[in-house]
Amino acid sequence: MKKILIIGATSAIAENAARIWAKAGCSLFLVARSQERLDVISKDLIVRGAVGIDRFCMDLTQFDQQDAMLNAAYAFLGEIDVALIAHGTLSNQAACESSPQITLQEISVNALSVISLLTVLANRFEERKSGMIAVISSVAGDRGRQSNYVYGSAKAMVSAFTSGLRQRLAKSNIRVLTVKPGFVDTPMTKEFTKGPLWAKPQTVARQIVEACNSKGGILYTPRFWWAIMAIIKLIPETVFMIIKL
Amino acid sequence: MKMQGWGRYSSLDAQVLVPSFNFECKEFIKNRVLITRGLGRSYGDSSLSPIILETSRLNHFISFNHKTGLISCQAGVSIHDILDLVVPKGWFVPVTSGTSYVTLGGAIASDVHGKNHHIRGSFSQHVISFDLLLGSGEKVTVTPSGMPDLFKATCGGMGLTGIILSATFQLIPIQSSSISQRTLRANSLEEACELFEANALSTYSVAWIDCMAKGRQMGRSLLMLGEHSINGGLDLGGQPMKSLPIDMPTWVLNPYSIKAFNFLYFHRSFFSDQKTDLPYRPYFYPLDAINNWNRLYGKNGFIQYQFVVPKAVGVSGLKHILDVISKSNKGSFLAVLKVFGKRNENYLSFPMEGYSLALDFKMESGIVELVKRLDSMILEMGGKVYLTKDALMSEQMFKSTYPQWQIFEEVRAKYGAIGRFASNQSRRLGLQ
């Protein structure tokens, strides 16, 4: 029976991952902004087989509350076998371009709050010398593109940070997994027209849980995004300047 | 976004709203006229409207009592997901449609029936209560005794009374996830109907019927009886889902290929009485193994046509209808005959005591005329057509064969549903 901490537990991907863990009889500690949503999800996960559930309501950008949250998580779970960090917002690029406040707010939600949390969490994990941390970054972080470079640069920071953390914590027998989903059909992306590249959150969640149980440091999900991003990263700057992406 | 019914004949460009939580629905319905859609398994246009509220994310369980078999879930939970959860604990849904990819809300709104209708009636008869969001934004808890009019209007009411948010219903206990199936061969329609009567105590019964057979062989069928087995444990039995990557070319299904299929299917067993044990999925949901079997009929889609005629009409009436179908050469390779038990009190529920036949017609020239002709025959015989499958019925046909439509409209008016919930089907049928 695994003990699992999920940050951003009401996101579609995290919720679907939680359902898989619940079915396997895990204990879960859920963190999200909305109490109302957490209540609905907790009940559901108990019916699906979760052995124990507790929840904590907070805005992750309130950095000073992160300690209290982690203390509550450790008090409930005892140890943490898997920590999944899944919170975030999809920035409106146009709004970001018009306002430094909005841009910084997006960076704060998608990068700084994750970095702050990982800094504390890493030390706690390092003491125990076991467990794993999975962090949802994005393919958008692989190369800044005009259509969403604010979101992309925040995710790039998460990818770089987790890369370094992975190297550091490997020495303490701790795995750090950077998850890079492509297009996922969730409430976060409801404004987009969906094409064949879009994946269901259930599929992405299943691949994340599978990756948590196996090896490897970076997960592109669905996996074909590895190839797409490899090509996008290879496009020379001169060509990149004249195309839209 | 282009939206279609399962038959892919009806379609339109619609705005699709996808709330993630039940409590968000109230905001979504403000100042809008819309229809609720679950997994889009109704065949015609009953889940289509310029604005659609999709319940796919309202798929949270609320409670499940392993001891009593009482289960509560949100409306977007599918029968498939419910069975995944409850079968290993020794429970089963009391009534199931022919696909498990139906949401709980859809099962109530269509008041679905199954192969055990003659024993257990339709789905709503096992519903203890449901929460309904009215057009006013008010949420009410509806029970058969607490708000009988709203209960009887909503069950079978095609989503036209409000949004079903969640429901509680009673499961039935099982000792095994397998079904003991017995297949009996009937060489004519008379024989098939006699076999139904002789096996009225069998929990599940349904007949596959060769609707291309003419003359003395007309109505030859395979009657499939089923009981929940007592052996074999409670495994779910994995069954990987396959997809049809493209639409099947429209010429593949033609009178010759369908005749050949039907001939082979009928003669597949050498014995006229065959017994096997099989997992519940292939027994109840053979088509669920293919993700999008509706592409089988090609890009023009198909019409699914299901009607029921009263027992008094008898085999002769049914024969008359089959005669028209087989002579049209438009027959389908999925024709299903079932003898229904007594009707319930819901205003628009489909099942009533009598013979029900369900057929697929590939959409092509002549089908609309054939359906119109069948409609008028069924009207004359005192029968009716299933709203969940309908795509073509006229207002006059609906109002004559569903005589309680006026009470239905009165209840809708009383609870503020008029002008708030409407589908292309409800507009076609002349409902307000």
Condensed to tens digits (0 to 9), the pLDDT of residues A188-202 reads: 787 788 888 899 999
> What is the rounded distance in angstroms from the CA atom of residue B88 to the CA atom of residue B116?
22
> What is the rounded distance in angstroms from the CA atom of residue B175 to the CA atom of residue B281?
16
What is the ipTM metric for this complex? 0.91
Residue of B nearest to A44 (CA): B61
User: Can you give the residue ranges of every domain in chain B?
Assistant: 178-390
| Structure tokens belonging to residue B51 | 């604005």
> What is the rounded distance in angstroms from the CA atom of residue A113 to the CA atom of residue A154?
10
| Structure tokens belonging to residue A26 | 């895990």
Taking an 8 Å cut-off on Cβ atoms, the answer to whether B18 and A190 are in contact is: yes
Are the C-beta atoms of A117 and A85 separated by less than 8 Å?
yes
Q: Is B231 on the interface with A (CB under 8 A)?
A: no
Is residue B242 over pLDDT 80?
Answer: no
Condensed to tens digits (0 to 9), the pLDDT of residues B158-174 reads: 999 999 999 999 999 99
> What is the rounded distance in angstroms from the CA atom of residue B429 to the CA atom of residue B432?
9
Q: Which of A61-70, B87-96, B252-261 has the lowest mean pLDDT?
A: B252-261
Are the C-beta atoms of B244 and B291 separated by less than 8 Å?
yes
Taking an 8 Å cut-off on Cβ atoms, the answer to whether B62 and A43 are in contact is: yes
Report the Cα–Cα distance between both ends of chain B, in Å, rounded.
25
Condensed to tens digits (0 to 9), the pLDDT of residues B263-282 reads: 776 666 656 677 888 999 98
Taking an 8 Å cut-off on Cβ atoms, the answer to whether A193 and B1 are in contact is: yes
User: Can you give the residue ranges of every domain in chain A?
Assistant: 3-240
Residue of A nearest to B77 (CA): A44
| Structure tokens belonging to residue B37 | 């859609």
Residues in chain A closer than 8 A to B60 (CB atoms): 40-41, 43-44
Confidence at B90, pLDDT banded by 50, 70, 90: very high
**Candidates 3.40.50.920, 3.30.70.360, 3.40.470.10, 3.30.70.2520; correct CATH number of B178-390?**
3.30.70.2520
Condensed to tens digits (0 to 9), the pLDDT of residues B31-86 reads: 999 999 999 999 999 999 999 999 999 999 999 999 999 999 999 999 999 999 99
* Per-chain mean pLDDT for chain B: 91
> What is the rounded distance in angstroms from the CA atom of residue B89 to the CA atom of residue B61?
15
Residues in chain B closer than 8 A to A36 (CB atoms): 21, 23
| Structure tokens belonging to residue A206 | 């299943």
Q: pTM here?
A: 0.92
Mean pLDDT of B100-107: 97
Condensed to tens digits (0 to 9), the pLDDT of residues A71-113 reads: 999 999 999 999 999 999 998 999 999 999 999 999 999 999 9
Confidence at B126, pLDDT banded by 50, 70, 90: very high
| CATH number for the domain running over A3-240 | 3.40.50.720
Q: A42, A50, A152, A48: which is closest to A107 by C-alpha?
A: A152
Are the C-beta atoms of A144 and A153 separated by less than 8 Å?
yes
Condensed to tens digits (0 to 9), the pLDDT of residues B339-352 reads: 999 999 999 999 99
Nearest CB among A12, A36, A43 relative to B23 is that of: A36
> What is the rounded distance in angstroms from the CA atom of residue B8 to the CA atom of residue B89?
37
| Structure tokens belonging to residue A161 | 């940070």
Taking an 8 Å cut-off on Cβ atoms, the answer to whether B21 and A36 are in contact is: yes
Report phi then psi at A85, rounded to 5.
-105, 110
Taking an 8 Å cut-off on Cβ atoms, the answer to whether B60 and A43 are in contact is: yes
Report phi then psi at A186, rounded to 5.
-130, 170
